[in-house]
Amino acid sequence: MNGPFEFALRLGDDALIAAQRLAEWTTRAPEMEEDVALANIALDQLGAARLLLTYAGELEGAGRDEDALAYLRGDREFRNCLLVELPNGDFAVTMAKLLVLSAYQLPLYTALAGCADERLAAIGAKARKESAYHLDHSSLWVKRLGDGTEESHRRMQAAVDQVWPYVAELFAPDPAAPIDPATLRPEFDATVADVLAEATLTPPETSWAPAGGRDGVHTEHLSYLLAEMQVLHRAHPGAAW
């Protein structure tokens, strides 16, 4: 499996699974404006996933397009990080997940925009603008909940504590990749530290760092997500409308 294909596949899977999870909030968000906002963020992630998976299919050279990669792979063939497949939990957990994901994706896409691969550079240039909005949106909510009532603070701190162990996997070194994720960690740390400080939240301290998603070893949650996401395509293979 070649490096550029694996890299594009990982990023595409991150965006695809994040989109599916965020879409689950449709009609269930705490207010109508937030319902629309989360749906739009999900669509942004889906748009990035389509571009990345299309390119991954071309790099692979096996005749698989974006639909084949999205709907006809089993969980062991997905390369997304564990963070995005975790259940949404309550609204605080979703905002903690989105904060971590966007604080990772923004410097990643920004770096991609300047890489030598023209296709990845074009995708990065488009996606970084959307990621900047995702980061702003999640940051505002984390601050609002963290520095709000006693109950909202408690739940926001619990959400950050729950999500934090999954951060390490995002920045596992990969010197052969077009962008080595390890180089992005300092910017991520500075961004998130500022948000947590303003939200009066305490950065978690943990030595537990679950991983395996990049190698196809996932939590049980991904299988259930894929079953729902892929059911129509698998029930009617080759259908067009």
The Cβ of residue 187 has, within 10 Å, a number of other Cβ atoms equal to 16
- Domain CATH for 18: 1.20.1260.10
Considering its fold, how many domains does the chain have in total?
1
Please, which pLDDT band fits residue 2 given cuts at 50, 70 and 90? low
Please, which pLDDT band fits residue 234 given cuts at 50, 70 and 90? very high
**Cβ(187)–Cβ(107) below 8 Å:** yes
Say which amino acid occupies 33.
E
Predicted TM-score of the model (pTM): 0.97
Q: What angle do CA 151, 157, 162 make, to 5 degrees?
A: 125
pLDDT at 152: 98
pLDDT surpasses 80 at 241? no
Please, which pLDDT band fits residue 238 given cuts at 50, 70 and 90? confident
Please, what is the average pLDDT of the chain? 97
What are the C-alpha distances in Å from 91 to residues 40, 47, 159, 200?
16, 23, 9, 18
First to last CA, the chain: 33
Decide if 241 is inside a domain: no
How far is it, in rounded angstroms, from Cα 164 to Cα 176? 26
For residue 98, give its domain range.
Answer: 3-203+213-235
Decide if 240 is inside a domain: no
**Cβ(93)–Cβ(138) below 8 Å:** no
Decide if 83 is inside a domain: yes
Decide if 61 is inside a domain: yes
The stretch 197-221 carries a mean pLDDT of 97
Q: What angle do CA 196, 202, 204 make, to 5 degrees?
A: 105
The stretch 123-130 carries a mean pLDDT of 98
Tens-place pLDDT, residues 41-68 = 999 999 999 999 999 999 999 999 999 9
Tokens of 241: 């409308």
The stretch 152-173 carries a mean pLDDT of 98
User: Contacts from 134-137 at CB under 8 Å and sequence distance 24+?
Assistant: 134/41, 134/44, 134/98, 134/101, 134/102, 134/105, 134/106, 135/99, 135/102, 135/103, 135/106, 135/191, 137/37, 137/41, 137/98
Decide if 199 is inside a domain: yes
Tens-place pLDDT, residues 173-185 = 999 999 999 999 9
Q: What angle do CA 149, 86, 28 make, to 5 degrees?
A: 55
Which string of DSSP letters, residue by residue, matches 80-107? Answer: --HHHHS---SHHHHHHHHHHHHHHHHH
